[in-house]
Structure 1
Amino acid sequence: MSLTDHAPAIAFRGRTVGEIAATLPGATAVFRRHRLDFCCGGDVPLAEAAARRGAPLDEIEAALDEIEAGLEPDEVPAAAIETGALIDHILVCYHEAHRRDLPELILLSQKVERVHAGNPALPVGLTDLLRETAGLLEMHMKKEELILFPAMRRSTSAMVAQPVRVMREEHDDHGEQIRRLEALTGGFTPPPGACRSWTALYLGLGHFVAELMDHIHLENNVLFPRFDAEG
Structure 2
Amino acid sequence: MNTVRKIDPLSSVSEIVNNDYRTAEVFRKHGIEYCCAGKWPLQMIIESKDLNAAEVIKELELSIHPIGIPRSLPFEEWDIDFLIDYIVNIHHAYLKKALPDTREQLEKFTEGHHKKYPALTELALVFKSLTLEMLPHLQQEEEIIFPYIKQIAHAYETRETYASLLVRTLRKPVENVMNHEHESVNKILAQMRQLTNRYTAPANSCVNHRVTFSKLLEIDTDLAQHMHLENGILFPRSIEMEKKLLFL
Specify the TM-score bucket, using the shorter chain as the normaliser: 0.5 to 0.7
Q: CA deviation at 1:122?
A: 4.5
Aligned residues: 158
The answer to whether residue 108 in structure 2 is matched with residue 111 in structure 1 is: yes
The answer to whether residue 158 in structure 2 is matched with residue 148 in structure 1 is: no
- Match in the other structure for 1:166: 176
Q: List, as ranges, runs of 4+ consecutive aligned residues in structure 1 with deviation greater than 4 Å.
A: none
Q: Secondary structure at the match of 1:154?
A: helix
- Match in the other structure for 2:212: 201
Q: Secondary structure at the match of 1:123?
A: helix
- 1:94-124 deviations in whole A, cap 9, x for unaligned? 1110111112211221122112131146422
- Match in the other structure for 2:196: 185
What are the ranges of 5 or more consecutive residues in structure 1 without an aligned counterpart?
1-71
Determine the C-alpha separation between the residues in 2 that align with 1:129 and 1:139. Answer: 16
The residue type equivalent to 1:111 in the other structure is: K
Determine the C-alpha separation between the residues in 2 that align with 1:180 and 1:104. Answer: 20
2:97 to 90, 96, 100: 100
More deviation in 80-89 or 149-158?
149-158
Contact 2:95 2:219 in 1 (8 A): yes
Cα 1:113–1:84 shift into 2, 3 Å: same
Percent of aligned pairs with the same amino acid: 24
Contact 2:103 2:131 in 1 (8 A): no
**Correspondence 1:1-231 to 2 at 5 A:** 76-120=73-117, 122-156=119-153, 157=163, 158-159=167-168, 160-168=170-178, 169-229=180-240, 230-231=242-243
- Match in the other structure for 1:9: none
- 1:131-176 deviations in whole A, cap 9, x for unaligned? 2111111121111111111111122453453111111110000100
Q: CA deviation at 1:82?
A: 0.6
Contact 1:161 1:227 in 2 (8 A): no
Contact 1:108 1:197 in 2 (8 A): no
Determine the C-alpha separation between the residues in 1 that align with 2:193 and 2:143. Answer: 31
Contact 1:188 1:202 in 2 (8 A): yes
- 1:21-44 deviations in whole A, cap 9, x for unaligned? xxxxxxxxxxxxxxxxxxxxxxxx
The residue type equivalent to 2:202 in the other structure is: P
The residue type equivalent to 2:223 in the other structure is: L
Determine the C-alpha separation between the residues in 2 that align with 1:129 and 1:166. Answer: 22
Determine the C-alpha separation between the residues in 2 that align with 1:155 and 1:104. Answer: 35
Cα 1:76–1:113 shift into 2, 3 Å: closer
Determine the C-alpha separation between the residues in 2 that align with 1:101 and 1:120. Answer: 23
Determine the C-alpha separation between the residues in 1 that align with 2:196 and 2:73. Answer: 35
Q: Secondary structure at the match of 1:190?
A: coil
Q: Secondary structure at the match of 1:118?
A: coil
Cα 1:151–1:88 shift into 2, 3 Å: same
Q: TM-score, normalised by structure 1?
A: 0.64
Determine the C-alpha separation between the residues in 2 that align with 1:120 and 1:136. Answer: 26
Determine the C-alpha separation between the residues in 1 that align with 2:220 and 2:123. Answer: 14
Contact 2:114 2:120 in 1 (8 A): no
